[in-house]
Amino acid sequence: MYTPPPFKSDRAASLAFAETRGFALACAWDGKKPVASPLPFYLTSANDGTLRAAFHVARHNPLVKLANGATSWLLAVNGADAYVSPDWYVSPDQVPTWLYQVVHLTGPVRAMSGDELAEQIETLSAKFEERLLPKKPWLSSKMTAGRLEALKKAIVGLEMTVEEVEGSFKLSQHKSETDYAAIAGSLAVQADAGAQHIAHLMKEARPQAFANETNQLEGSVP
């Protein structure tokens, strides 16, 4: 993935983002054309520390035939994104651009065994059920055994050995404090949730750019 140096995310931050997001576009090459499917996943490690990404797809998904344990796949993990208008800058002579967060995980993918798939289902559902607390987490034990086994037969567990991690977090890091604050301020008042999230990330990354704004608010308090 092409990433200008100011936007390159380090490995730790990229993996933290990917694990938190937990949803990606899995892409492979069938010899003639790309094949892709959106899917949830989680990251784990083998006993030797090798990074893995675990997920599953429908048994009839064309990706299944490409999981040969040798051919490299791509997991593209996209976060929020937002359009930036040139009119929002303080500095003149700007052009439209787009801000975003994305992480690419690449490596060979193999099919899991039945036992591995059962564990993968439990781990994946637990990852996302935890986000719904205080709701009592869903467990596969709530299903009848026959129904659960029938559903398992309809899917294939897959595991990527992650060989490369690339992160690109384009958040106007290369802009001046004034322009940076102006962009974040404009994004924050947009109706789009992605724009608001990007603004939040920008304020977290460079709080000093908003020091005057904070001082003005504090000064207005009686």
* Mean pLDDT of the region 102-128: 96
Same domain, 98 and 200: no
Same domain, 185 and 158: no
Q: Which of 170, 186, 204 is the last residue of a domain?
A: 170
* pLDDT tens, position by position, 185-215: 999 999 999 999 999 999 999 999 888 764 4
What is the span of the domain harbouring residue 62? 5-86+93-170
Instruction: Tell me: pLDDT of 222 over 70.
Output: no
Same domain, 142 and 181: no
Q: Which of 129, 150, 170 is the last residue of a domain?
A: 170
Query: Pairing state of beta strands 68-84 and 51-58?
Result: unpaired
Same domain, 74 and 140: yes
Q: How far is the C-alpha of 70 from the C-alpha of 66, rounded, in Å?
A: 9
Same domain, 138 and 199: no
Query: Mean of the per-residue pLDDT values for the chain?
Result: 93
Same domain, 150 and 79: yes
Residue 110: the pLDDT is: 97
Residue 213: the pLDDT is: 62
Q: How far is the C-alpha of 14 from the C-alpha of 75, rounded, in Å?
A: 13
Instruction: Tell me: pLDDT of 112 over 50.
Output: yes
Q: How far is CA 107 from the centre of its chain?
A: 17
Residue 218: the pLDDT is: 42
Same domain, 200 and 146: no
Same domain, 81 and 182: no
Instruction: Tell me: pLDDT of 219 over 90.
Output: no
Which CATH number is 101's domain given? 2.30.110.10
Total number of domains in the chain = 2
Percent above pLDDT 90 for the chain: 91
* pLDDT tens, position by position, 44-100: 998 888 999 999 999 999 999 999 999 999 999 999 999 999 999 999 999 999 999
The DSSP output letter for 201 is: H
Query: Which residue is associated with the tokens 């002579």?
Result: 93
Residue 217: the pLDDT is: 38
Same domain, 197 and 141: no
The tokens for 167 are 């992160």
199 Cβ neighbours under 8 A, 6+ residues apart? 82, 184, 185, 187, 188
Smallest CA-to-CA distance from 56 within 126, 138, 119 is with: 119
Same domain, 163 and 178: no
* pLDDT tens, position by position, 143-165: 998 999 999 999 999 999 999 99
Instruction: Tell me: pLDDT of 43 over 50.
Output: yes
Same domain, 111 and 145: yes
Instruction: Tell me: pLDDT of 216 over 50.
Output: no
* Mean pLDDT of the region 159-183: 97
